[in-house]
Amino acid sequence: MADRAAYDRIGVTYSSTRRPDPRIRDAIWSALGGAATVINVGAGAGSYEPPETVLAVEPSQVMIDQRPPGSAPAVVANAERLPVPDGFADAAMALLTVHHWSDVAAGIAELRRVARRIVILTWDQRVTERFWLSREYLPQLSSYDAGAVTIDTLLDLLGGGEVRPLPVPHDCSDGFLGAFWRRPRAYLDPTVRAGISTMAALEPTLGPGLERLRADLESGEWDGRHADLLRLDELDLGYRLLISVS
Phi then psi dihedrals of residue 83, to 5 deg: -85, 50
Taking residues 7-14, report their average pLDDT.
Answer: 53
CA distances from 48 to 29, 43, 71, 89, 206 (A): 8, 9, 11, 17, 30
pLDDT tens, position by position, 18-37: 889 999 999 999 999 999 99
Alpha helices for the chain (secondary structure H): 4-10, 14-17, 22-31, 61-64, 104-114, 125-128, 132, 140-145, 151-158, 190-194, 197-202, 207-219, 221-225
Q: What is the pLDDT of residue 144?
A: 85
Whether the model pTM is above 0.85: yes
Query: What residues contact 169, with CB distance under 8 A and at least 6 apart?
Result: 21, 23, 24, 233, 234
Angle among Cα 187, 4, 14 to the nearest 5 degrees reads 35
Report how far apart the first and last C-alpha atoms of the chain are (Å, whole number). Answer: 24
Which tens digit of pLDDT belongs to each residue from 75-107?
999 999 999 999 999 999 999 999 889 999 999
| CATH number of the domain residue 240 falls in | 3.40.50.150
User: Model confidence at 5, in pLDDT bands (50, 70, 90)?
Assistant: very low
Helix (H) or strand (E) holding 32: none
Q: 68 or 186: which carries more pLDDT confidence?
A: 186
3-state secondary structure of 136: helix
pLDDT, tens digit, 9 for 90 and up, residues 97-151:
998 899 999 999 999 999 999 999 999 999 999 999 999 999 999 888 766 799 9
Count up the domains in the chain and report the number.
1
Domain containing 32: what range? Answer: 4-245
Instruction: Report how far residue 192's alpha carbon sits from residue 208's, in angstroms, rounded to the nearest whole number.
Output: 18
